[in-house]
């Protein structure tokens, strides 16, 4: 077999080599001299107009595409900032003719931005709407509406239509928001006021005519500003750069996503269907991009729900990354969110997977598209026609104004007094910013949520500054071509040469209505049981509009089984057996009313009002580990609260104990026949100073009365260290309420405490030493017949006593961070550590539960890890490294985390962060340029790294250990279970089918803004090694909260699920089986 596949590989390689003599890309880029498209958006800086005077000086022009003369070929309209706008007629064979002057579309404003084409007056001809910036910097003019006269000439009629807006425009989108049959318009404007201070979020409620976005209702070829009554914000702080319109919630009414630059939140306007919108960002998005730029919408995972990408400016290249200003500090983000009221925003691209009525799952890091440098336009499209959405991203900026050397060193030397005296920065200073001209990106999408970078394969890797981008079939060969509007360089035309290697279907719509092109029409294409869903919205791709058509790539399918066309007016029709490789123009015919339905939710779980009386809100204290240990990879003192379920008052009913945060009283809930009643217990209340991390209710071997033991954690040095001690309470004997309080002999933060079978088995797993992350604390374990063993197992997070060898007594498996799952075989009461793994398996393990996932009769173990949706990266070949030592020899240790990139290891943190802890680096690297691109050995030297204690992580994936009898093999969970750390498991027959399943929950927020916020895991039910289902499809959504415990409790024989979260409410769900 092996040799055959090798042979095949060789043959295909030869075939490949033979097929192209020279390097050939999927896209060819003909020169402007060949095509006639010579438009170049040339930017000329001068002393009174540059990036200092106008913050969006480098945002570039616009690009509108569409067939203005109805010859079947899309024409091109470019807008420029300081150059004249241009309209090129497509003459076929990729030849274009400039008809700007005769067409009358040159425009009259000083500075144009977005340009779009739409049939604004509903006469079946595409008109051009040109957006302007006016009213600052001496810019004059207004948005212009060039109505198509049908003879290759246009007449500017914006005033007559009420669209002659004179403001700080970015772009516009036309769509029928009120479903009255004509096209309304959303004009996206941007703020210009300095964002030197955050200001209150309430600024967004006060309309500013120049910066506020406008919703313009079409009242019969006259547009009326209905922004205020429709609930559209228009504040002075809205840096609107991204605009996406789609029926996100699939109720038939188009919704709007607005991406705002800087600290202002993005807006997610859900259309109420009555002419108004409700801004709903926080309900659906746990976090967003920070410097939000362009965005785009497509269903990338075939579930019929539109997904969203929002671009930012995170660079991929180490040199750029480490010499550019990056994310906020932890403290600044806390202030911006907690004090000023802004939402969580992070500096990278975000990919949001639509989850219906539940919060979106953000997984750009997992998908591999999170960092594409200074990015403007995202355009989904099936560029290779394999049936999957690919992604093209344009990017680049002439000068990088966030270059750290420029900010800290270069600028000051040059600028000095000129800024104070004249408010002008001379040209020389601006020229000292490094160039940000970089290659555009193209990614190939797969059937699910993954993308692989095809830059340099599909397109040449060639630096440019590309902004407005649009897609169309320029040469009529069926595949998608791409055009970009570039700064200081002619526009690029990417001619797709997929041609007949894969099949396509192009759809145009002709509606007998004002909305003649059918904007907002949805199509479900079904083939071989696979759904491809698209909605016609050409207003995409950064200050641009694409050809108003829908394009499906279909691989080698010669026909599509069925096409369901859902018209904006809520009717639909179905076409069957549609041949591929054709362009269809579809008009409403034999339509039937379409009923938008909420996706079927199998409500296995239903939230219980009142939580059965278990009303408890855990409060994490404001202590930030990052203030004390600036370089630890994640927080370590936020792993509470504790949870214990058991009978505390010997009435035969299980009670609930929820541990408190630091200085917070624990919650003691005693069960009666109606529910749970919170009960005060003075001794427990007195111990609120402890940060309770784990608790256990158990029957000691010497009595038949249950006791409660609570163990503590935290990351503070306290004089007595009492706050780390374990406490045992007896609630039934008032004379001995506190049985003992043992100072934690290991003086460490305990993460997991287990006592089973009348103390036959006990385990106390220690996590960290206070303020010394990297020092391994002692954990202890024992069986009743064996001796107590102290062991530096690792940074322990969880463990399970389970008989993995089937010899009738319980063995121990311990998991933790920077360590492998560790097995201790119970040999007549003595616990012997054994390596039963068939490969190195250090992880950032968070949780473990025994479960026969493959139903083969032996016990497998499910393991919760960090997940793969983070900036951490690890593999067997290139493990993630952590170096632990006192690198600056000042008596305090530090940790440095490094990951592999192109064969070398780089620290995750930059010079500012590292030198804040290790001052000597400031002397070693006096510029950011000298630091950027240096690997970890170059930075610290081989000797220092050799001397340091090294930790490794080989996988970040959650998964399970398959029991092979005498060894275990690790198997990853599917990717939708890798979106965040999995911190809790619970095993139960949730659906009542007689066999147990495991519920997994997770998420975690204790990381610096560089990492973001792991908030996207909705939970999942695991039935078997092939059956995984996200919990949000079952009535349970665990996203946006940091789950610490999942526990099934019973009240009057009815099972309920108790969810305990860090720094949040406890929640009870009824299990309806």
Partner 1 sequence: MLLFTKLKDNLLKILPFLAVFLLLNSCQEKVTSEPVEVTSKDLQNAVDHVTGIMIHDIFSPPQASRIYVYPNIAAYEIVAQNDPGYKSLSGQIADFTPIPQTSDSLVNYPMAALIAHMDISRTLVFSEEKMKTFSDSLENIWSGKNKPVFDASKAYAMKVVDHMNQWIAKDNYAQTRTMSKFTVDIDDPSRWQPTPPAYMDGIEPHWNKIRPLVLDSAAQFKPEPPPPYSMDKNSDFYKELQEVYDVSEEITEKGDESEEIEIAQFWDCNPYVSVTRGHLMFATKKITPGAHWMGITEIACKDSESDFNKTVYAYAKSSIAMFDAFISCWDEKYRSNLIRPETLINQHIDESWKPILQTPPFPEYSSGHSVVSGAASTVLTDIFGDNFSFMDDTELPFGLPVRGFDSFEAAAAEAAVSRLYGGIHYRAAIDKGLSQGQNVGRWVVENLDMKQ
Which residues form the interface with partner 1 (CB under 8 A)? 51-52, 55-56, 194-200, 291, 325, 329, 331-332, 334-335, 338-339, 401-402, 406-409, 411-413, 415-417, 419-421, 425, 429, 622-624, 626-628, 630, 888-892, 894, 917-919, 922-923, 926
Q: Which two tokens stand for residue 356?
A: 């219906």
Query: What is the helix (H) or strand (E) element at residue 9, kind and residue range?
Result: helix 2-19
Which residue, 1006, 295, 337, 244, is CA-closest to 634?
A: 1006
> In the complex with partner 1, which residue's Cβ is closer, 408 or 462?
408
Q: Return the SS3 of 154.
A: strand
Cis peptide before 641 (omega within 30 of 0): yes
> In the complex with partner 1, which residue's Cβ is closer, 3 or 194?
194
> In the complex with partner 1, which residue's Cβ is closer, 52 or 636?
52
Least distance (Å) between residue 817 CB and partner 1? 23
> In the complex with partner 1, which residue's Cβ is closer, 330 or 1005?
330
> In the complex with partner 1, which residue's Cβ is closer, 203 or 878?
203
Least distance (Å) between residue 716 CB and partner 1? 10
CA dihedral 619→621→627→631, nearest 10 degrees, is -40
> In the complex with partner 1, which residue's Cβ is closer, 526 or 626?
626
Strand-pair category, 503-509 with 582-586:
parallel
d(CA 732, CA 627): 43
Least distance (Å) between residue 665 CB and partner 1? 18
d(CA 957, CA 971): 9
Strand-pair category, 503-509 with 522-527:
unpaired
> In the complex with partner 1, which residue's Cβ is closer, 400 or 752?
400
Q: Return the SS3 of 279.
A: strand
> In the complex with partner 1, which residue's Cβ is closer, 33 or 339?
339
Least distance (Å) between residue 203 CB and partner 1? 9
> In the complex with partner 1, which residue's Cβ is closer, 57 or 458?
57
User: What angle (nearest 5°) sits at the alpha carbon of residue 178, between those of residues 172 and 180?
Assistant: 110
Least distance (Å) between residue 717 CB and partner 1? 11
Strand-pair category, 223-225 with 240-246:
unpaired
Burial 576-606 (b: 16+ CB within 10 A, else e): eebebbeebebebeebeebeeeeeeeeebbe
> In the complex with partner 1, which residue's Cβ is closer, 259 or 1002?
259
Tell me the CB-side half-sphere exposure of residue 1049, using CA atoms within 13 A.
30
d(CA 211, CA 490): 30
Least distance (Å) between residue 231 CB and partner 1? 24
Query: What is the helix (H) or strand (E) element at residue 939, kind and residue range?
Result: helix 936-940
Least distance (Å) between residue 238 CB and partner 1? 14
- Burial category of 724 from C-beta neighbours within 10 Å (exposed 0-12, middle 13-18, buried 19 and up): buried
> In the complex with partner 1, which residue's Cβ is closer, 84 or 924?
924
> In the complex with partner 1, which residue's Cβ is closer, 324 or 492?
324
Least distance (Å) between residue 1011 CB and partner 1? 18
361 near 21, Cβ under 8 Å? no
Given the structure tokens 């045992």, which residue do they identify? Answer: 728
Least distance (Å) between residue 313 CB and partner 1? 8
Beta sheet of 144-148, edge-to-edge order: 112-118, 127-132, 144-148, 154-156
702 near 714, Cβ under 8 Å? no
Q: Return the SS3 of 73.
A: coil
Give strand pairing partners of 375. 395
CA dihedral 465→909→798→1041, nearest 10 degrees, is -50
> In the complex with partner 1, which residue's Cβ is closer, 630 or 769?
630
Least distance (Å) between residue 41 CB and partner 1? 19
> In the complex with partner 1, which residue's Cβ is closer, 178 or 913?
913
Least distance (Å) between residue 807 CB and partner 1? 50
Least distance (Å) between residue 771 CB and partner 1? 9
Q: What residues contact residue 265 under an 8 Å CB cut-off, 6+ apart?
A: 201, 281, 288, 342, 343, 345
Least distance (Å) between residue 484 CB and partner 1? 21
Which residue, 126, 120, 265, is CA-closest to 185?
A: 120
Least distance (Å) between residue 628 CB and partner 1? 4
231 near 207, Cβ under 8 Å? no
Least distance (Å) between residue 55 CB and partner 1? 2
Q: Which two tokens stand for residue 259?
A: 């991406």
> In the complex with partner 1, which residue's Cβ is closer, 26 or 371?
371
> In the complex with partner 1, which residue's Cβ is closer, 684 or 921?
921
Which residue, 174, 193, 140, 141, is CA-closest to 254?
A: 174
Least distance (Å) between residue 47 CB and partner 1? 15
> In the complex with partner 1, which residue's Cβ is closer, 47 or 991?
47
Least distance (Å) between residue 530 CB and partner 1? 42
Which residue, 545, 608, 479, 461, is CA-closest to 126?
A: 545
d(CA 982, CA 1044): 9
Least distance (Å) between residue 914 CB and partner 1? 12
Q: In 10 A of CB 198, how many CB atoms?
A: 18
> In the complex with partner 1, which residue's Cβ is closer, 302 or 922?
922
Q: What residues contact residue 147 under an 8 Å CB cut-off, 6+ apart?
A: 120, 121, 127, 154, 155, 156, 157
**Dihedral class, residue 69 (left if φ above 0, else alpha if ψ from -120 to 50, else beta):** alpha
DSSP-derived letter for residue 1033 is: G
């Amino acid at each position: 077999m092996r040799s055959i596949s090798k042979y095949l590989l060789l043959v295909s390689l030869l075939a490949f080599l033979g097929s192209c003599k020279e390097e050939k890309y999927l896209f060819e880029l003909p020169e402007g001299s060949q095509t006639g498209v010579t438009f170049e958006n040339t930017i000329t800086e001068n002393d009174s107009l540059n990036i200092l005077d106008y913050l969006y000086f480098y945002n570039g022009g616009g690009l509108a595409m569409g067939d203005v003369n109805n010859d079947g070929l899309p024409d091109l309209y470019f807008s420029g900032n300081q150059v004249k706008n241009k309209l090129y007629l497509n003459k076929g064979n990729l030849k274009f003719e400039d008809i700007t002057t005769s067409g009358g579309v040159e425009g009259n404003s000083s500075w144009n931005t977005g340009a779009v084409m739409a049939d604004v007056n509903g006469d079946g001809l595409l008109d051009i709407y040109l957006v302007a910036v006016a009213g600052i910097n001496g810019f004059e003019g207004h948005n212009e509406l060039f109505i198509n006269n049908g003879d290759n000439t246009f007449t500017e009629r914006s005033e007559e239509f009420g669209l002659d807006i004179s403001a700080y425009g970015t772009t516009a989108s036309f769509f029928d928001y009120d479903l009255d049959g004509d096209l309304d318009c959303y004009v996206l404007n941007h703020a210009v006021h300095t964002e030197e201070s955050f200001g209150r979020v309430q600024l967004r409620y006060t309309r500013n005519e120049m910066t506020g976005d406008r919703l313009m209702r079409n009242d019969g070829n006259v547009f009326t500003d209905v922004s205020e009554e429709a609930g559209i914000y228009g504040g002075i702080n809205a840096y609107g750069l991204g605009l996406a319109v789609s029926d996100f919630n699939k109720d038939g009414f188009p919704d709007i996503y607005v991406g705002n630059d800087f600290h202002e939140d993005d807006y997610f306007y859900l259309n109420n269907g009555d002419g108004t919108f409700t801004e709903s960002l926080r309900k659906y998005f746990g976090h967003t991009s920070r410097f939000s730029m362009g965005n785009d919408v497509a269903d990338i995972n075939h579930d019929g729900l539109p997904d969203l990408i929002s671009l930012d400016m995170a660079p991929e290249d180490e040199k750029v990354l480490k010499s550019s200003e990056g994310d906020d500090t932890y403290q600044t983000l806390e202030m911006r969110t907690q004090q000023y009221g802004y939402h969580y925003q992070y500096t990278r691209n975000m990919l949001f997977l639509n989850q219906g009525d539940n919060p979106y799952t953000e997984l750009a890091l997992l998908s591999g598209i999170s960092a594409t440098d200074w990015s403007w336009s995202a355009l989904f499209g099936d560029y290779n026609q394999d049936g999957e959405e690919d992604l093209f991203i344009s990017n680049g900026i002439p000068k990088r104004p966030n270059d750290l050397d420029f900010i800290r060193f270069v600028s000051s030397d040059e600028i000095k007094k000129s800024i104070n005296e004249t408010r002008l920065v001379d040209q020389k200073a601006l020229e000292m910013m490094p160039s940000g001209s970089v290659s555009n990106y193209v990614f190939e999408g797969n059937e699910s949520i993954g993308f692989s970078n095809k830059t340099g394969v599909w397109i040449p890797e060639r630096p440019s500054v590309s902004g407005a981008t649009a897609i169309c079939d320029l040469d009529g060969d069926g595949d998608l071509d791409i055009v970009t509007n570039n700064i200081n360089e002619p526009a690029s035309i990417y001619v797709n040469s997929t041609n007949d290697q894969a099949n396509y279907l192009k759809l145009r719509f002709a509606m007998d209505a004002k909305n003649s092109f059918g904007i907002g029409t949805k199509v479900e294409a079904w083939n071989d049981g696979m759904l491809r869903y698209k909605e016609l919205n050409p207003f995409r791709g950064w200050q641009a509009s694409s050809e108003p058509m829908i394009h499906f790539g279909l691989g080698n399918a010669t026909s599509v089984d069925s096409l369901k066309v859902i018209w904006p007016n809520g009717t639909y029709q179905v076409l069957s057996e549609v041949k591929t490789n054709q362009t269809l123009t579809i008009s409403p015919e034999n339509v039937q009313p379409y009923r938008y339905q909420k996706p079927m939710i199998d409500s296995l779980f239903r939230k219980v009002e009142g939580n059965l009386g278990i009303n408890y809100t855990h409060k994490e204290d404001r202590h930030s580990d990052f203030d004390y240990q600036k370089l630890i990879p994640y927080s370590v003192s936020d792993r509470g609260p504790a949870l214990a379920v058991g009978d505390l008052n010997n009435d035969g009913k299980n009670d609930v104990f929820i541990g408190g945060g630091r200085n917070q009283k624990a919650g003691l809930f005693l069960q009666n026949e109606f529910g749970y009643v919170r009960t005060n217990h003075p001794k427990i209340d007195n111990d609120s100073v402890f940060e309770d991390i784990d608790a256990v209710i158990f029957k000691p071997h010497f009595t038949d009365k249950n006791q409660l033991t609570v163990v503590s954690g935290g990351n503070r040095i306290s004089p007595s260290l009492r706050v780390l001690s374990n406490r045992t309470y007896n609630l039934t004997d008032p004379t001995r309420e506190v049985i003992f309080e043992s100072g934690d002999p290991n003086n460490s933060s305990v993460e997991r405490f287990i006592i089973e079978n009348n103390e036959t088995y006990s385990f106390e797993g220690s996590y960290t030493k206070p303020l010394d992350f990297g020092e391994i604390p002692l954990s202890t374990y024992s069986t009743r017949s064996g001796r107590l063993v102290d062991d530096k197992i690792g940074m322990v997070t969880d463990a399970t006593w389970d008989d993995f060898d089937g010899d009738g007594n319980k063995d121990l498996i311990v998991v933790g961070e920077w360590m492998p799952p560790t097995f201790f075989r119970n040999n007549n009461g003595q616990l012997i550590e054994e390596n039963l793994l068939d490969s190195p398996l250090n992880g950032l393990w968070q949780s473990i539960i025994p479960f026969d996932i493959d139903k083969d009769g032996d016990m497998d173990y499910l393991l919760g890890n960090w997940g793969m949706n983070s900036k951490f990266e690890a593999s067997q070949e290139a493990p993630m490294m952590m170096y632990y030592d006192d690198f600056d020899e000042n008596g305090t240790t530090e940790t440095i985390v490094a990951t592999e990139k192109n064969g070398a290891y780089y620290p995750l943190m930059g010079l500012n962060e590292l030198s804040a802890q290790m001052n000597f680096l400031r002397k070693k690297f006096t510029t950011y340029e000298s630091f950027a691109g240096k690997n970890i050995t170059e930075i610290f030297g081989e000797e220092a790294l050799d001397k340091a204690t090294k930790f490794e992580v080989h996988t970040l994936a959650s998964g399970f250990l398959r029991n092979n009898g005498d060894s275990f093999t690790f198997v990853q969970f599917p990717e939708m279970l890798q979106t965040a750390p999995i911190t809790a498991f619970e095993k139960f027959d949730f659906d009542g089918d007689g066999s147990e399943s495991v519920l997994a929950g997770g998420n975690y927020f204790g990381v610096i803004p560089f990492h973001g916020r792991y908030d996207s895991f909705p939970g999942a039910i695991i039935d078997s090694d092939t059956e995984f289902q996200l919990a949000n499809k079952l009535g349970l959504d665990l996203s946006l909260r940091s789950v610490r415990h999942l526990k099934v409790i019973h009240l009057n024989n009815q099972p309920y699920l108790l969810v305990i979260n860090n720094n949040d409410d406890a929640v009870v769900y009824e299990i309806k089986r």
